[in-house]
Structure 1
Amino acid sequence: MRVVITGIGGYSCIGSNVDEITASLRAGKSGIGLDHERRVFGYRSCLTGIIQEPDLKAQIKRRDRVGLSEEAKYAYVATVEAMAMAGVDVDFFEQNRAGIIYGNDSSAKAVTEAVDIIRAKKDTMMVGSGSIFQSMNSTVTMNLATILKLTGINYTISAACASGSHAVGMGFHLIKSGLEEMIICGGAQEVNPYAFGSFDGLGVFSMKEDAPAKSSRPFDRDRDGLVTSGGGATLILETLESAQRRGANILAEVVGYGFSSNGNHISNPSTESQIISINRALEMAELKASQVDYVNAHATSTPKGDEFEAKAIYEIFGSKTPVSSTKSMTGHECWMAGASELVYSILMMQQGFIAPNINFENPDQFSQNLNIIAESLETELTTVLSNSFGFGGTNSSIILKKYE
C-alpha cells in the first residue's frame, strides 16, 4: 500500500500560510523576536518565535470555539489550508471516513488559567465549560475531530519534540496496513510563557537578545542555546488509490519511517540511537544513504544536541549530502517541529531549493564534517530525510519522495 500526501498547511512565525512560509524559507528570513513580558514573568531569555493567535470568530461557531486551546487554533488554521489543497471539506468527511493523529505535548496556558481561577474564586463552577477541552493533552484531536466531522482514528501523540514526526509516522503505518484510507496528521505548539518557563530554567535558551534574528545558530560554533517557537502544521495522508480516485494533486510520497529510543539519559541525546532511527527509515524505504538528496536536521542550536546529530549524519551520509536546520529561522517549534519540518521539506521539493541554515558562520569540530547549506540553494530534490529527536530519548526519522 503506497501512502501519499495530498495537502499541507502551516501557521508559524515565518508565515501564516504555505506561500508566506515558502518565501521565508527561500529568503532565509527569521521569525524570531523578543517578548518583553517574559522578563516580567521571570524568564532569563525573552527570545521567541513571534506568532499571533488567529481570530476564528468568522470561521467557527462559538459552541465549537470555546473548547479550542491556543495550539488547537493554530492546528485548525493549518488543517483548513491542507484540506483546501487536498480538495476535501467537511461535507466530504461526513460522507467518507477519515481520521486524525496529531502531535501535542502540553496545554499549559489552559491548565494554568483554570487553576488560577479556582484558587482566586474558590469555586470550580467559575471555570468555563470549554476549559476541560482546552486543558487536555488531546485538545487538538478532540476538537478538530468534532468540528471536521471525522469518524476514523482519533488520538494524540505525546512524544516531546518528536511528537509531530511520530504522528505522521503512525498515520503512515495505519494507512499502509489498510486500517485507514485517509488521516489528517500534524503537530501543534503553544507559544505562551506558561509553556516554556521550566524550559527556560534549564538554562538552555539563547541569550543573544541584541540580535534576535541571529540567536538560533544550529551547528555554529558560537551558538549559545535554542529559541522556542510554535504554531501548527498539517499533512493529509491517504492511499495512492484514494488520491487517484479523487483526482487529487499528489505532493509527495511517504516511503520510510524509522524510530528508536535511547533507553538511557532522560535529556541527553544518543548518536547510536539516532543512527538506528535513520537506518530503519532507509531500510523501510529500500534506499541507500547516497540516494537521499537532502537532510532536514533536528539540530536545535544546543551544543550537545547538534554535536550528537552531526556525528550521526556524518556516520551515515558522510560529507556530501546537503544538510540544513530550518530551526535557524523558526526557532525550535517543539511538539510541532516534526510535522512542520516535513511541510517545509515538501515545499522545498516542490519549488526546487534547499532552505539555508542561516547564522552558520563558524563550524565546530563536528559540523565541519557536514555539507551545511548556509545560503539558499536552487536544486532539484527527489528524496529528503527529516529527523526529529525529543526528551526521553524518543527518535523519529521520516523519508519523503517526489511522487512518480
Structure 2
Amino acid sequence: MDRRVVITGMGIYSCIGLNSKEVAQSLFEGKSGITVDTERGAFGFQSPLTGKVPLPDLKKALTRRQRISMGEESEYAYVATMEAFEQANLSEEFLKSNEIGILYGNDSVAQSVVESTDIVREKKDTQLIGSGAIFKSMNSTVTMNLATILELKGINMTISAACASGSHAIGLGFMFIKQGLQDMIICGGAQEINPYAMASFDGLGVFATDIEHPEKASRPFDTKRTGLVPSGGAATLILESYESAVKRGATILAEVAGYGFSSNGGHISTPNMEGPKIAMQRALDQAGVRAEDVDYINAHATSTQIGDVNEGKAILDVFGSKPYVSSTKSMTGHECWMAGASEIVYSTLMMQHNFIAPNINLEQVDEEIRELNLVSKTIEKEFDIYLSNSFGFGGTNSAIVVKKFKHE
C-alpha cells in the first residue's frame, strides 16, 4: 500500500499564541514570545530567559479524576488537541466508532518526579505521593492520558528523541498511514517549561544571555547569537489518509509528502553536517520532489554557535541558495520536544496564508553561511512545498516535506 497522507486539523498552544489564529498573526508580525522569568534567577539559573506559556484551566473541561494524572505537558497537549479536533470536525461519536491512533513526542515530566521525591524524602511515606503521580511523570504521560480521555483504540505510543521528538512522531504517523496500518493518527509534541525541567539544560551553559532585551535573545544565524532560549507548550496535527478525509468530507489543509531521518553517529551534543544532509535528502526522495522544488525551509537553527552553522552548510549542500530559509525559533525560542511538531504547524499556517515568517533579530549573518537565502522580514508570497528540520541530542535527525494539497 502507498496511500496519500493529509493534514485535516491543527492545534497549537505556544508562547506566541494560544491558538492557530493568534499564532498566525504573531508569525506574520515577527512577534517574539520570549520573556524574563524572575523566579529562575532565584532558582539558580544562569539565564532567566524563557518562552512563557500559561497553564490552562481544565476544571470545566475535565473531571478531577481525569486531571489528577495530567502533568504540564498533558494539559498543553489536551488544549492543542481539542483545537485540532474542532478544525478536523471530529466528533466524540466518530472517535468511539473508529480506530484512531496517537503518537506524541515529549519528555518525562521533571516537575512531577521532583515533587514526588521531595514528599518521600520529607515524610518517609510513599503512600503520600498520591495516585496520579506515576501517570503525571512517565514519559508516556501525554499518550496515556489523551488515549484514555478520548477512548482511542489505535496505535498508542510516545516518541522520545530529544528535540526531534515531535517531528519523528509526525514522520512515524505518516508511515503508519501511508502503509495502510491506520486511517487516522493524532500526532504532536509537548514540552514543559517549569524550572525543574530546564535546570540541567541551563547548567550546560547553552542558554542565551541578553537579559536586557529578551525579545532579541534568540538570534538564529546571527553573529551575535549567544545561545538558545528554552520554551514549550504543545502542538497537535490530525494526520489522515486521503481516502478517509474524502469519505468524511473533511477539509484538507496540506499533504505530508516525505519523511527523512538519520543519526549522526558522533558526539552526543555537537551536531555535524552529514546526518542532517542524509535526513533532508531522504525526505526529498520519499516525497518525489527535487531540491529546487522546495520553496521554504523552516530550519532547526536554535541560535547556538556550532549548530546553526552546520545546519546552514548542510542546507547549502543539498539545496543551494534558492529556497527561503528562516528559523521560527527566533520568535518562539527552542520548544525542545515540541518543536518538530509546532514548526509543522507554523509552516503550514504560513503556506495557508501566503507568507513566509521572518528570522527576527538577524542583523549580520554568520560569514560561513552568508549564501543562505535567509528571510529577515516577512515576505508575502504563495508557496507550495516546504521542508522542516528537527535535530536532537544524541545525533537524531528528522526532516519532513509538506505540500500544498492538490487533487490529482
Residue 160 of structure 1 aligns to a residue whose secondary structure is coil
Query: Quick one: distance in 2 between partners of 1:43 and 1:130?
Result: 29
Quick check: 1:216–1:327 contact (8 Å CA) kept in 2? yes
What amino acid maps onto 2:208 in structure 1?
S
| Alignment correspondent of 2:245 | 243
Alignment of 1:315-334 (within 5 A): 315-334=317-336
Q: Judge conservation of contact 1:220–1:367 (CA < 8 Å) in 2.
A: no
* 1:168 matched residue in structure 2: 170
Paired residue secondary structure (1:344)? helix
Cα displacement (A) at 1:37: 0.6
* Structure 1 residue aligned with 2:262: 260
1:93-113: CA deviation from partner (whole Å, max 9, x where unpaired): 111110000001231011111
The structure 1 segments of at least 4 consecutive aligned residues displaced by more than 3 Å after TM superposition are none
Matched position secondary structure for 2:367: coil
**Distance between the aligned counterparts of 1:107 and 1:363, measured in 2?**
37
Report the equivalent of 1:9: 11
Structure 2 Cα separation of the partners of residues 381 and 61 of structure 1:
44
* CA distance in 2: counterparts of 1:119 and 1:170, whole angstroms: 40
Residues of 1 paired with 2:272 and 2:100: CA distance? Answer: 36
**CA RMSD in angstroms, aligned pairs only:** 0.6
Residue 91 of structure 1: how far off its partner (Å): 2.0
**Residue 125 (structure 1) aligned to one of 114, 123, 127:** 127
CA-CA distance at 1:273 after TM superposition: 0.9
Q: 2:59 aligns with which of 49, 57, 60?
A: 57
Cα distance between partner residues in 2 of 1:116 and 1:92? 43
Which of 265, 281, 285 is the matching residue for 1:283?
A: 285
Q: Structure 2: which amino acid aligns with 1:280?
A: R
Aligned AA for 2:82?
V
- In 1: Cα distance, 2:266 partner to 2:214 partner: 34
Q: Is 2:35 the counterpart of 1:33?
A: yes
**Alpha-carbon distance in structure 2 between the residues aligned to 1:91 and 1:37:** 44
After superposition, the C-alpha distances for 1:119-142 in whole angstroms (9 at most, x for unaligned) are: 111101111111110010000000
1:23 and 2:25 aligned: yes
Structure 1 contact 90–149 (Cα < 8 Å) conserved: no
For 2:248 and 2:346, locate their aligned partners in 1 and report how far apart those are by CA, in whole Å: 25
Asked whether the equivalents of residues 323 and 373 of structure 2 are also in contact (C-alpha less than 8 Å), the reply is: yes
Structure 2 letter corresponding to 1:229: S
> Which residue of structure 2 lines up, in the alignment, with residue 372 of structure 1?
374
What residue is the counterpart of 1:231 in the other structure?
A: 233
Residue 138 (structure 1) aligns with: 140
Cα distance in 2, alignment partners of residues 23 and 135 from structure 1: 34
**Deviation at residue 331 of structure 1 after TM alignment:** 0.1
Tell me, in whole angstroms, the C-alpha distance in 2 between the residues paired with 1:76 and 1:120: 32
Task: State whether residues 108 and 141 of structure 2, in contact with CA within 8 Å, keep that contact through their aligned partners in structure 1.
Answer: no
Identity between Structure 1 and Structure 2 (%): 63
- Determine if contact 2:296/2:324 at 8 Å carries over to the other structure: yes
| Structure 1 residue 367, shift from structure 2 partner | 2.9
Structure 1: runs of 5 or more not aligned: none
Q: Deviations over 1:288-330 (max 9, x none)?
A: 1000010000000001000100000111111121000000000
2: CA distance, partners of 1:213 / 1:91? 44
Aligned to 2:303: 301
Q: Is the 8 A contact 1:106 1:195 kept in 2?
A: no
Partner secondary structure for residue 186 of structure 1: strand
How far apart are the structure 1 equivalents of 2:28 and 2:161?
A: 30
For residues 382 and 156 of structure 2, what CA distance do their matches in structure 1 show?
36
- How far apart, in 2, do the equivalents of 1:303 and 1:369 lie? 17
Q: Does 1:220 align with 2:222?
A: yes
Alignment gaps of 5+ in structure 2: none
TM-score, normalised to structure 1, is 0.99
In structure 1, what is the Cα distance between the partners aligned to 2:386 and 2:54?
A: 30
What amino acid sits opposite 1:112 in the alignment?
Answer: V
Match of 1:104 in 2: 106
> For the residues of structure 2 that align with 1:154 and 1:232, how far apart are their CA atoms?
18
Determine if contact 1:320/1:371 at 8 Å carries over to the other structure: yes
SS at match of 1:366: helix
1:229–1:334 Cα contact (<8 Å) kept: yes
Deviation at 1:227, TM superposition (A): 0.1
1-structure distance, mates of 2:369, 2:376 = 12
Counterpart residue number, 1:46: 48
